[in-house]
Amino acid sequence: MGDKRHNLDEAVRRLREESGIKVRKISGFYLTEPVGGPPQDDYLNGVLEIETGLSPEECLDRIKDIEKEMGREPSGKDHPRVIDIDILLFEDWVVESDRLIIPHPEMHRRDFVLRGLNEIAPDAYHPGLRKTIAELQGRDSLDIS
């Protein structure tokens, strides 16, 4: 919601200021139609590569703090929001908890995710699907199971 480009730039700025997080690469930003939820404007999406010594859960806590500081309020699944920051991959880790699933369970089905990841990290490896991002983007991502 709001000024999408400003919101993404602000999220990147805040991540850069976080102790223990170093932003390494930023993809281009891609305008995409929303998936699910009520009728709403298109989304603007991008992908970052960070370096961190934090655990996945610690990263999630920092991300949730940034979202809240930027004005994100609790809403239904796929509803409009000021900012939505997801952890897509975390090295070759597989994490499944009540709070966090890594790799992101829908990332291989979302072209904007694969496009952004392929731009900055084509050799990144999806441990669940055992394929690189370049390999995933080269296929019809909706047919991968």
- Domain range for 83 is 4-143
86 tagged catalytic: yes
**C-beta contacts of 108-113 below 8 A and 24+ residues apart:** 108/136, 108/141, 108/144, 109/141, 109/142, 109/144, 110/35, 110/141, 111/32, 111/137, 111/141, 112/30, 112/32, 112/43, 112/45, 113/45, 113/47, 113/88
Catalytic residue among 72, 98, 140, 143: 72
Write out pLDDT tens, residues 9-46: 999 999 999 999 999 999 999 998 877 766 778 888 99
Write out pLDDT tens, residues 66-125: 999 988 777 766 655 778 899 999 999 999 999 999 999 988 988 888 999 999 999 999
pLDDT the model gives residue 43: 85
pLDDT the model gives residue 110: 86
115 tagged catalytic: no
For the chain, how many structural domains are there in total? 1
Domain with 42 in it: what CATH number?
A: 3.30.70.560
Show the DSSP H helices in 1-145 as ranges. Answer: 4-17, 56-69, 111-120, 133-137
The pTM (predicted TM-score) of the whole model is 0.85
81 tagged catalytic: yes
pLDDT the model gives residue 39: 73
